[in-house]
A and B are shown apart, each in its own frame.
Chain A
Amino acid sequence: MNILIALPGLPLLAALWFALVPGGDRRAAGWVTALAALFPVATATLVQSQRLEIPHLLVRGSSALVLDDAARPALLLFGALWLAAALVARSRSSGPAAIPMLLALSGASTLALADGRPLVYASMLATGYGLYAMMASESDADWRRPARALIVLLIASDLLVFEVLLHAAAYPEHGISGGVLTVLMIAIVLRSGAPPAHVWLPPALAAVSTPTAIVLAGVPAAAAFVGAGRLLPAEVSGIAGACLGLGLAGALWASAAGIAQSTPRATLGYASAASAALLLATVPLTADPAAAAWTTLALMGCCATLPVIAGQHDGPARNAAITLTLLIHGFAGAHAAAGTWAGTTAAGLAAAAVAVLATLLLTLAVRRTSPPRRDDGSVEASTMAIAMAGLAATGLAFLWRASLPGFASFWPVPIGITLGLVFYRWHPQGTSLRVPPGDLLVPAERTLARLITVTATQCRQRLPRMRDRLQQSLLSAWRGDAWAARIARLEYLLRAWPTTGVLVLLVAIAVALLVMR
């Protein structure tokens, strides 16, 4: 079996194994998932670039799995996050089930390697619904509301991507440009967790266990922008301004809501959303797909490190992990902003502002994450947090290798971190002020519920009545007594009509005579 087929295939086989042998031990399941997650990491690190054509796959017949410079960072990120999640999950009594984890890993691995639009689409779907399944397999019921919002956003995004693929297939001479490009970017935003489609992320992160939180903090945005890298055409300058504007607005929105949060996980949700906004403002416009992928790895790797840091004991290792995470996130964001928007001052400043806001929120989330009690913490968490920060550092190193950093790649970092610390002093953990993390969730839910109620009333009452009437009339077509009644009515009508008509005529004549007199 080719190694590129094995990457998505191995987790699927493992999932099949767990389906065949139900009721397995969580520890064993955790180890198997960790091994399956280690495979993408090893492949990205050790295997040379290659391409595997898969003819006759899906509808276009031109799909392939490609291990190239853009695929490696995505494989590293997905593999590392699932590895960390699986290692954490194996020592806990609650958390995501193994099968959804493996299915989502299979989808994410395919997404990292996919070439050919339908295959990219299919793997985006598998990743998205796999993440939903991971949330849904949590034993705590608080995941329901955010998961509902996620599924609605995913479906909306899927439909838009489908529309884009159709358009590209129906009018190949036009390609993806103009309005279609805008539709595609909307689809990417909807599934990335970037504002305004972030409504599910903070409550979800607050509700799920640490393993799922590791994955949710990094994967939705990473998967969306890895997919965007595969779907977007090389030239997207037409929507550059819109991306930057939306990214800036999103980062501001996330910052305003994130600062007002009281729980570390909800703050992390807004930090992830702000990082997704930063990716939106920079990644689609990056000319080098590999650099875009390394940026994604660095930023989202840092976000995903936070749930692991929450399990670290206070001490030098924790401090090192926090410092590394904040610096790498800051440098990667600032470098991406500077590299993408080097040409114009105003745009450059706006992009740098997005980077500052994202770093600010991550700093705030870190500060609000207090270390565990001595007996709750995990020794492994220290190693794992350092390893994940190291992974993000790799992303930054490759980013810097692709284009050397300048002053613009540094100055937003201290500002972002300092502002984060200032806001923490101003609004530390545990204050009573709290913005509902759902933002748009409640009004959207209310509107939808009203719509469903109205439709249900129509369906349950009026339509069945109409159907029954129609059925009665159809059935009566075969009943003699119904025909007899019908004919009797007709006969009565026919007999009555002339009589009534003559009577009316007589009355009319009488009235006319009276009037004449």
Chain B
Amino acid sequence: MTPNAWLPVAILASSLLPGLVIFTLPEKAVVLRTTLNLGGAIVKILLLVLMMVGVFHGVVFEFRVPLVPGIDFALHADALSLLFVNLSAVLWLATTIYAIGYLEGSPHRSRFFGYFSLCVTATVGLAMAGNLLTFLVFYEALTLTTYPLVVHRESEVARRAGRLYLTYTLLGGVLLLTGTVWLYSLTGTLEFVDRGFVSELGLDPAVLRAIFAVLILGVGVKAALVPLHGWLPRAMVAPAPVSALLHAVAVVKAGAFGIVRIVYDVFGVEFSAALGVTLPLAILAAITIVYGSVRALFQDNLKRRLAFSTVSQVSYITLGVAIAGPIATIGGLVHLVHQGFMKITLFFCAGNYAEAAGVHKVSELAGIGRRMPWTTAAFTLAAVGMIGLPPMAGFVSKWFLALGGLEVHQNWVPLLLLGSSVLNAAYFLPIIRTAWFDPPPDHWPVEARPGRLEAPLALLAPPLATAAAALLWGLFATVPGTPLDWVQLIAARKYGQ
């Protein structure tokens, strides 16, 4: 094996090894734990940069060992996988910094950060999976490593949410396993290939449609497609860094990424369209977009409102894939990154409000902008981006999605996006208005740090950084090196252009 083959393993090890060591650390070993956390995150980013340069220049990074007879455990770094690894690695660093500040002085931090690292390992492994079975392995690993994070608070509500989460995601895993076995029994291969491996085998279209449905339902649980989304709002009992991780980095993104892989690298986008499965998928995504936004409108709990917003926003990725055109693909895939940065900002800010002022509800946010102006500024930028207004990154995603819809003569897509923007505005703008312009109460529910107006720096820096990134990627979307630029490379390869 060449040294290049070990790079994917090294990138996994950069979070796996610190994670395993952190489990063994006593609670008091704060410095060592922090060093391991941050060191692992930084090493991962450095390795990632190395691989991105290589992939851009056509270098192949592939690690392969036999897993079961006929199928390898394969890690393969292509442009698409590195997009997701990039998102995970950068946001892992931000979330780790945030979590260090958020959990300061709380119990079970070694357990938390251990599972946190394992969760990111599973996400990165899932991103770099070279075939469907490897994908399945990491998909299940992700379920099992995020469960302890969801129930971290050990309350009865958390346990119930954890059980529900496990039920949904394990059911999804069972469906994915069923689809994988069924497909393998027919094709004899599970390797991800650009433009798919199913199209040239001459299989019965009805069977293929059924397999497609089973696989999509399997990953659709994590992607929170309606009606499989029920776990997501309940999982909001988890601490804010976990919510951020679930919504922006790991779980829902893993589901959306799974849909991308199945459509592009298992079935092939053109063949999927020929099978007639992309339109139902697009309709399901459209229903999810509208449903999530409508439900978000009526949530008073801030994190629940954000959770339903995630249900809606993640389906933009599915929609972009299902529209089956190069421009829509760009819109969908770039939203994978843009939504991640914007949503993680929102969850960080929600965490800050809860930590610094004990505010959990939208109705309690009146005047919070005067007390926590920087947090609220970051929240405002991210919310504006979620609505899809320029110059934020969300505008870029919506622009390409709508343009992609018009490109393939799906004229309902821009209308859907406009409707969704209206709903997004309806549930985000009142928050912004009340936070900035309503008079603050005489006393906040909790004065966690008397005399301090803002959250501490460790809690403030991550949302400001991610909000700034979302702004810059919207403002200078076409600069080389931005997510949009990378996604254009992916679309060119997936469509053979």
Contacts and interface: CB of A to CB of B under 8 A. Distances in A.
A66 to B, nearest CB: 18
Contact of B429 (A56, A151, A456, A459): A151
B297 A58 contact: no
A19 B407 contact: no
Interface in B389-429: 389-391, 395-396, 399-400, 402-403, 406-407, 414, 418, 421-422, 425, 429
B187 interface: no
A118 B167 CA distance: 46
Given A122-B391, A163-B418, A475-B164, A19 B373 contact: yes
A169 B403 contact: yes
Nearest to A61: B478
B402 A470 contact: no
A169 B399 CA distance: 10
A59 B477 contact: yes
A499 interface: no
A167 B479 CA distance: 24
Interface in B52-109: none
A166 B163 contact: no
A459 B297 contact: yes
A125 B390 contact: yes
B122 to A, nearest CB: 22
Given A136-B436, A467-B230, A58 B298 contact: no
Contacts of A455: 294, 297-298
Contact of B437 (A60, A137, A475, A478): A137
Nearest to B374: A19
Given A125-B389, A460-B298, A166 B433 contact: no
Interface string B280-302: 00000000000000110110000
Contact of B418 (A19, A118, A159, A477): A159
A166 B406 contact: yes
Contacts of A162: 402, 418, 421
Nearest to B437: A136
Interface in A430-482: 455-456, 459-460, 463, 467, 470-471, 474-475, 477-478
A57 interface: yes
Interface residues of B, number: 41
Given A470-B227, A477-B167, A478-B167, A58 B425 contact: no
Nearest to A165: B399
B400 A57 contact: no
A125 B475 CA distance: 14
Given A56-B477, A159-B421, A463-B295, A167 B406 contact: yes
Interface in B312-329: none
B168 interface: yes
Q: Is the interface of B mostly helix, strand, loop or mixed?
A: helix
Contacts of A470: 227, 230
B478 A471 contact: no
A115 interface: no
B320 to A, nearest CB: 15
B177 to A, nearest CB: 15
A492 B436 CA distance: 63
A155 interface: yes
B478 A56 contact: yes
A58 B390 contact: yes
Given A56-B479, A125-B389, A456-B298, A170 B230 contact: no
B137 interface: no
B385 interface: no
A58 B475 contact: yes
A162 B389 CA distance: 10
A57 B390 CA distance: 11
B258 interface: no
A22 interface: yes
B422 A58 contact: no
A459 B299 CA distance: 10
B171 interface: yes
Contact of A459 (B298, B377, B436, B476): B298
B173 interface: no
A133 interface: yes
Contacts of B475: 57-58
A158 B400 CA distance: 17
Secondary structure class of chain A's binding surface, majority of residues: helix
Contacts of B433: 136
A122 B390 contact: yes
Contact of B163 (A22, A57, A159, A475): A475
A133 B436 contact: yes
A471 B407 CA distance: 39
A163 B171 CA distance: 41
B224 to A, nearest CB: 13
A477 B370 CA distance: 49
A171 B402 CA distance: 13
Interface string A6-24: 0000000000000100100
A136 B434 CA distance: 10
B222 to A, nearest CB: 15
A467 B233 CA distance: 11
Contacts of A118: 390, 399
A61 B407 CA distance: 19
Contacts of A459: 294-295, 297-298
Contacts of A456: 297-298
B483 interface: no
A121 B392 CA distance: 13
A484 B82 CA distance: 47
A71 to B, nearest CB: 20
A159 B422 contact: yes
Nearest to A139: B439
A217 B62 CA distance: 65
A499 B479 CA distance: 76
Contacts of B477: 56, 58-59
B390 A121 contact: yes
Given A122-B390, A159-B421, A170 B406 contact: yes
Contact of A19 (B230, B377, B390, B425): B377
B474 interface: yes
A166 B167 contact: no
Contacts of A478: 167
Interface in A153-186: 155, 158-159, 162-163, 166-167, 169-171
Nearest to B396: A59
Contacts of A158: 389
Contacts of A167: 406
A228 B84 CA distance: 41
B414 A166 contact: yes
B373 A22 contact: yes
Contacts of A151: 429
A157 to B, nearest CB: 12
Interface in A59-79: 59-61
B474 A58 contact: yes
Interface in B364-395: 370, 373-374, 377, 389-391, 395
Given A159-B418, A170-B407, A475-B167, 9 more contacts: A58-B390, A59-B399, A125-B390, A133-B436, A163-B414, A166-B399, A171-B406, A474-B168, A474-B171
Interface of B: 163-164, 167-168, 171, 227, 230, 294-295, 297-298, 370, 373-374, 377, 389-391, 395-396, 399-400, 402-403, 406-407, 414, 418, 421-422, 425, 429, 433, 436-437, 474-479
Interface of A: 19, 22, 55-61, 118, 121-122, 125, 133, 136-137, 151, 155, 158-159, 162-163, 166-167, 169-171, 455-456, 459-460, 463, 467, 470-471, 474-475, 477-478
30 contacts: A22-B370, A56-B476, A56-B478, A56-B479, A58-B396, A58-B477, A60-B478, A118-B390, A121-B390, A122-B391, A125-B389, A125-B390, A136-B436, A151-B429, A155-B421, A163-B414, A163-B418, A166-B414, A455-B297, A455-B298, A456-B297, A459-B294, A467-B230, A470-B230, A471-B230, A474-B167, A474-B168, A474-B230, A475-B163, A477-B167
